[in-house]
């Protein structure tokens, strides 16, 4: 069973993951409005991954006989100054989420909650991948700058992103 403190922290993380989903979905709408459908596709896939993260936590809390208490999700940003600005804000949020995951791990360790600590290792590794994938797009956007043909090609490249195969992920309850 989960301690009250751990249950609340996991519920807070569910909220953060749902907020990430909402933010990336908003980014997808922004990019669609900008006629950057490849960018929109890339972030929409990322939004769905964030929802999957929230559901992993949701299922884990229930598997430990905890109670999921959903909280209000703040409204996301709906406009960015540029594609680069959007991805830089995404990276800042991913870094924030990484900090939240690290605090969850610290709490699990301090409470000797080995099951939650083990479960959270997947999220620690996932955050490394999430920050890296967003940073790669940022580096490409910086290389391209305002060069229209470069942005066009990057949009086409991002359109090729496929959803991650989550059928055999560690940490699934």
Task: For residue 45, give the CATH number of its domain.
Answer: 1.20.1260.10
pLDDT in tens, the chain (173 residues): 999 999 999 999 999 999 999 999 999 999 999 999 999 999 999 999 999 999 999 999 999 999 999 999 999 999 999 999 999 999 999 999 999 999 999 999 999 999 999 999 999 999 999 999 999 999 999 999 989 999 999 999 999 999 875 544 544 44
Q: How many domains does the chain have?
A: 1
Is position 38 within any domain?
yes
Between the alpha carbon of residue 97 and those of residues 44, 53, 101, 126, the distances in Å are 18, 11, 6, 11
- Which string of DSSP letters, residue by residue, matches 90-122? HHHHHHHHHHHHHHHHHHHHHTT-HHHHHHHHH
How far, in Å, CA of 171 to CA of 173, rounded?
6
For 147, the domain range is 4-158
């Amino acid at each position: 069973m989960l301690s009250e403190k751990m249950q609340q922290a996991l519920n807070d993380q569910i909220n953060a993951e749902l907020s990430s989903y909402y933010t990336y979905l908003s980014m997808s709408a922004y990019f669609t409005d900008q006629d950057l459908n490849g960018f929109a596709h890339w972030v929409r896939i990322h939004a769905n991954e964030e929802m999957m993260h929230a559901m992993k936590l949701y299922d884990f809390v229930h598997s430990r006989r905890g109670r999921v208490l959903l909280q209000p999700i703040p409204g996301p940003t709906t406009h960015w100054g540029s594609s680069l600005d959007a991805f830089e804000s995404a990276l800042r949020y991913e870094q924030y989420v990484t900090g939240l995951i690290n605090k969850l791990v610290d709490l699990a360790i301090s409470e000797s909650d080995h099951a939650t600590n083990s479960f959270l290792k997947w999220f620690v590794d996932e955050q490394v991948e999430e920050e890296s994938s967003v940073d790669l797009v940022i580096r490409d956007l910086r290389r391209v700058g305002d060069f229209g043909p470069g942005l066009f090609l990057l949009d086409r490249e991002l359109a090729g992103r496929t959803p991650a195969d989550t059928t055999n992920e560690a940490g699934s309850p």
